[in-house]
Structure 1
C-alpha cells in the first residue's frame, strides 16, 4: 500500500489517529493549525505518507501471508515474548491497577518470568501447548497470559460465565496442559473430569509458584510469527462454541495498529512521536479478558506503549467504575453500550470528576443512534470524543471505526476500514457487489485469525483460499463507509455478549416436556436485546416458565437463559426445507 492509496483514505487515517486519542477539535487546541477541513485533510495525509511510506516508522508493503499477498507493516515484531522482555524499559510505571492493587511494569515482568519458569519446569509447558485460564478479571489472568506467550504456548481464554457442561466441553476441545482457575470457578469443577489436567488456583497456587521462582530469568521461545498464540471462544451457529485461533502475527499487528494511531495523533498535532517514551494514557478495562476488546486491544498493546491498564473487577456497577475513573484519572474507555446506557440512568454522575476522559468508544455490540445522541447531550467526554466501531473475535481488532465527525455527519455509519484492512461486500456466490448494494461483509487483513481450532470444516466455510473472511454479517459500503443492515442470521446480542439460539434450543429440547422450541432476541431497553423462548409443549405435559427457567439455568450461562417465555401447543412455522421460520416469532 503506497501513498496514493492512502491519500484516498484521509477519513480512514483520521479515525486511526483519533481512536483512543483525541477528536479533531481537541487536537487543534493542542497546537495543530488549520482553517478548513481541506487543510486538515491535507495535513493528515502528509503525516500518513511520512509514517507509512518508504523509510517511515510504519512503512507498509505487500508480503505473502499464509499464501495470500497482504499489506503489512515492514518494521514489526515477530513474537509476543519480545514485548514482555522490552517492557522492562517502563520500570516502575503502573501497568495494572485495580481498586486495591497497583503493579508496576517491573513487578509484572518479574512475576511473568517466575510463573513462566514454573510452568516450564514443573508442568512441562512448551511450544504449542495450551494453558487455559478460567477466571474473572484479575492481574493474575494477565500474568498467566504473558507467561504462556514467553514459552511459545497457546493461551486459552475460557468464558468465566460458563456453566459446568460448557466448561467440560471447552476443556475437552482445547485439551490444556494446565488449567488456571479462580476459587469461584474451581468450585464448578467438582463434577467435571479433569483427570490429567493440573489445576492451579489464582488465589493460592500462582502466588506460591511466583514466590518459589522469584528472580528467574525470563524464558524465551523459538517460534514463528504465524505460530498460534491465543484461542478465544466465540459462539457458533452449530450450537457449540468455536475456538478462534489467533497467531503471533495477529496480535502483533494489533499492537502496531495502536502504535500507529498514537504516532498519527502526535504527528497531526505537530508533536514528535517516539516509541521509546512511555505513553501517559490510562485505559479503563471493563470487559472480560476472554474478549478481544480487553485482551488483544487493551492488555496486549498497552504493554508495548507503557500505558496503564485500570482494571475494573466484578459485575458492572456505575459508582465503583466512576470512582476508578476519578481516582486514576482515566483517559480512555471502550464501553459496551449497555454500560453507557446505565451511566445515563445514574443520578449522581455529576458528583464525579470525569474531566480526565478524553476518548470514549462504544464497542462489542451495536448501539442505536438515539443512544449516541443521549450520550453526547449528557456527557462532555462523549460530545468531544465518542467513536463507534465494528469488529469480530475472528478479526482480532476493529474492522472499521467511525469518529465523532462520522457519527454526526452519517448517523448509523461504522466508518471506514482501519489500516491494512480490506473490506468487500459480496453476493451469495462470493462476487463483489457495487457500492450501495447490500451483501455479506467480507474482510482480509493481517488481523484475521488462522482459523477455528481443530475445526477444518468451519474454517473452510469462513475463510477462503486467498484469506478472505466471510463474516456472516450483512451490510453496505457507501463512499467507503460501512453500514450494517443485519447481523448474523440468528445472533442475539445481549449486553455485549453473543448468544446463538441453537445452543439454547438444544438444551431446552432435552427437557421431557418440550416437543420443540425456538429462541429469538427481543428488544430490551438496557441490554439491547434479551433472550426469548417459544416452547411447544408435548401433548399431556405440564410445563411452565419457572420450571423451564430453572432447568436452563443449571445448564447454561446466565446470559443465555431466556428471560421471556411463551408456551404454546401448535407446531412452529417451518419453511420448505423444514427449518423453523424465526421471523415474526415473539414471546
Structure 2
C-alpha cells in the first residue's frame, strides 16, 4: 500500500515543523503555557535514562518478563526496523490498534524513540470508527493485531500501510543493536500522543498531548514518591488506549522504577485476583465495574480475599464510586481498609485533576478529593468564578495542547488564560471537589464513555428511523446502560402505523455493525410522537425521560 495523503517521506526537521505541529496550529495560544513541564527533558530522554535500572522488572505479561534495560533495547531495535522498513521518523504519526500486551508498549516506546507521535486507537471500535480516526490523523503506519486488521480499509484514499503487531518480536530481533535519536530532539510542545474522545458532534476528536503534559505527569508521580521510594507492582487492567493506562501507569512506571503487570484478554475477576496473588501486585487502579465484580467474587467466595494480601492500595478511577461500594470494599478487602483512593480526570488531562485519599473519602464519600499539585481548579458560572455549584474548569501543565485539526473545538475548550472547561458540573465542599454530573448527557458504561450524539447519529441513519434520543440508565454492574428512544420513519398522526414490531432487533444488528459493542443500546423504546424540541430545535431530553418516552 502507498503512504496516505500528506504522509510522504520528509526530513526529520520538516516532519517536526510541519506535520507534527500542524494539527493544533492556530489554536495553541489558548492552551496553557509549558510552565513546569519539559525544561529540556522529553520522553525519549526518560527512555534513555531508564536503561540504568538494568534487569529490574518493568513489564510482566503472560509469562514474559521485560526489564528496564531490555525494554530500552527492544524499543530501539523496533524503532530501527520501523525507520528502515517504513521510513518512520520524527513527527510521523504511528497508530496502534491492538489489545493490551507487551508489543503494544514496545511499539509506543519505539515511536517515542523516533520522535514520532503515538496514535492510541480504541481497540473496541467498529470499522466506521476506525476509518474516521484514520482520516482524521492520517498516520504513516498502523500497527494492528489480527482481529483489528480486518477493520482496516484496504483500498482508496483511506488505505494506510499496516504492520502486524504480532511481528514486533521478529522486528525487534531484526533491528537488534539499532539506535535511533530523533526523539531526543523533541521540544516541550511537540505532540507525543493522540488519544480519542468524543463531543457534541458525536465524532471522535483527537486529543493531542505534547511532551510537556506527559513530563508534568511523570514529575507529579515522582514527587509523590519521595517519602515512599520502595518499588511497587501495578496491575494494568484498563486499555492502553486510555489515558489512565498509558499516561498515568505505563509511562511513569518507567521513570519511577515500578513494574507493570498486564492483564490480557477479557476481564475476568477470578483470573485477575489470581494474577494479583501470583505476581504480588501492590497497587490497582480499577474502574467501578471492576470493583463491583471484585465485591461479587468476595461475597460469594470470601476465601478469595487471601489472594489480595499483597495489595496495598486500590484506586477507583473514571467514575465516582458510591459510598455503599466504598464501605463494601473496606469490609471485604482488609488490605485496603486505610488505603482506598479515588481520582477525577479527563482524556484532556494527562493526569488526574483531583485525587482523594482514604481520609478524604472517609470524611466525604461523595468527593473526588483536592487538586493535585500544580493543577488549579475553579468552579464557574459562565466564564466567571462562582461559589456553589457550577462548571468545573482546570489549568496546569498536564493539560492537552488541543484537539487534532479542530481549531474550533480547541478554542471552545480553553479560555485566553489557559483554563480548560471540563463540561462537568460540581462544587467544592469543605475544600474537596464533588462532581455532580459527568458532562452533559454523558453515559459511563463500565468505565467507557458513551456519547449519545454519536449513537443517535448511527441509529438515525437507519432508513426506518426518523428520530432518536439516547440516554443512560442506572445498572448495578456497569454503572449505566445505554438506552434509546426512537421515532419510526413511518410514524403519522399519533400512531405507529406500519412500524415493524421487530424494529428494535433490527436496530441492534444495524448499530452493532457500526459501533463498538459497549455503545449499542440494550433498551429500546419506540415512541408514537415526535421528540419534543425547544425553540432552538434541540430535543428536550428531560421531558422525554419524565414522560417515560
Do both share a fold (TM > 0.5)? Answer: yes
2:345 counterpart of 1:391: yes
Do 2:311 and 2:335's aligned partners in 1 also have CA atoms closer than 8 Å?
Answer: yes
Q: 1:197 to 1:477 in 2, by over 3 A?
A: same
Secondary structure, counterpart of 2:384 in structure 1 = coil
Q: Is 1:574 matched up with 2:533?
A: yes
Per-residue Cα deviation, 1:300-324 (whole angstroms, up to 9, x for no partner):
0000011100000111111110111
In 2, Cα distance between equivalents of 1:302 and 1:102:
15
Partner in structure 1 of residue 310 of structure 2: 356
Residue 517 (str. 1) matches residue 479 (str. 2): no
1:337 equivalent in structure 2: 288
Change (3 A) 1:75 1:395: closer
Structure 1: gaps spanning 5 or more residues: 1-64, 267-272, 274-278
The match for 1:463 is 414
The answer as to whether partners of 2:31 and 2:419 remain within 8 angstroms in 1 is no
**3-state DSSP of counterpart to 2:152:** helix
Establish whether residue 442 from structure 1 lines up as the match of residue 393 from structure 2.
Answer: yes
Quick check: 1:93–1:104 contact (8 Å CA) kept in 2?
yes
**8 Å contact from structure 2 (residues 37, 213) kept in 1:** no
Q: Using the alignment, how far apart are the partners of 2:323 and 2:34 within structure 1?
A: 33
Matched residues, number:
507
Q: Answer yes or no: is 1:545 the counterpart of 2:507.
A: no
Residue by residue, what CA displacement relative to the aligned partner does 1:74-104 show, whole Å, maximum 9, x if unpaired?
Answer: 8956210001111111111111101321111
Equivalent in the alignment of 1:452: 403
1:571 to 1:368, Cα distance in 2 relative to 1, 3 A: same
Look up the match of 2:222. 259
Could you say which residue in structure 2 is the equivalent of 1:226?
189
> Using a 3 Å threshold, how does the CA distance of structure 1 residues 71 and 235 change in structure 2: closer, same or farther?
closer
**Hey, what's the Cα distance between the residues in 2 that align with 1:195 and 1:509?**
25
- What is the distance in 1 between the residues matched to 2:33 and 2:376? 9
Q: Secondary structure at the match of 2:82?
A: helix
Contact 1:360 1:382 in 2 (8 A): yes
For residues 421 and 300 of structure 1, what CA distance do their matches in structure 2 show?
Answer: 19
Q: Give the alignment's TM-score, normalised by structure 2.
A: 0.89
2:116 paired with 1:153: yes
* Alignment of 1:144 onto 2:98: no
Q: Which deviates the most, 244-253 or 479-488?
A: 479-488
Distance 1:68 1:451, change over 3 A: closer
**Residue 378 of structure 2 corresponds to residue 424 of structure 1:** yes
| Structure 2 residue corresponding to 1:197, chosen from 160, 163, 167 | 160
Which one of the candidate residues 67, 88, 91 is aligned to 2:54? 91
Contact 1:117–1:219 under 8 Å retained in 2: no
Structure 1 CA distance, aligned partners of 2:140 and 2:285?
Answer: 33
Shift of 1:190: 5.8
Q: Which of 104, 109, 114 is the aligned partner of 2:67?
A: 104
Is the Cα–Cα contact under 8 Å of residues 76 and 256 in structure 1 kept in the other structure? no
Structure 1 counterpart of 2:4: none
Q: C-alpha root-mean-square deviation of aligned residues, in Å?
A: 1.9
Alpha-carbon distance in structure 2 between the residues aligned to 1:282 and 1:77: 29
Residue in 1 that maps onto 2:20:
none
Mapping for residues 169-248 of structure 1, pairs under 5 Å: 169-189=132-152, 193=156, 197-204=160-167, 206-221=168-183, 222-248=185-211
Give CA-to-partner distance per residue, 1:95-114, whole Å, 9 cap, x none: 11013211111221111001
Counterparts of 1:149 and 1:69 in 2: how far apart (Å)? Answer: 23
Partner residue in 2 for 1:497: 448
Aligned-partner SS, 1:148? helix
Of 192-201 and 409-418, the range deviating more from structure 2: 192-201
Structure 1 counterpart of 2:6: none
Choose from 364, 375, 380 the match for 2:329: 375
Q: CA separation in 1, counterparts of 2:476 and 2:313? A: 25
The answer as to whether partners of 1:99 and 1:324 remain within 8 angstroms in 2 is no
Tell me, yes or no, if the aligned pair for 1:401 and 1:417 is still in contact at 8 Å.
Answer: yes
Task: Compute the TM-score of the two structures, normalised by the length of structure 1.
Answer: 0.83
C-alpha spacing 1:183/1:419, structure 2 compared with 1 (3 Å): same
- Output the CA distance in 1 between the equivalents of 2:36 and 2:442: 34
Alignment-derived partner of residue 11 in structure 1 = none
Unpaired runs of 5+ residues, structure 2, are 1-27, 491-497
Aligned to 2:11: none
Query: Do the aligned partners of residues 214 and 464 (structure 1) sit closer, same or farther apart at CA in structure 2, a change above 3 Å counting?
Result: same
Paired with 1:293 and 1:96, the residues of 2 have a C-alpha distance of: 17
How far apart are residue 519 of structure 1 and its match?
Answer: 0.3
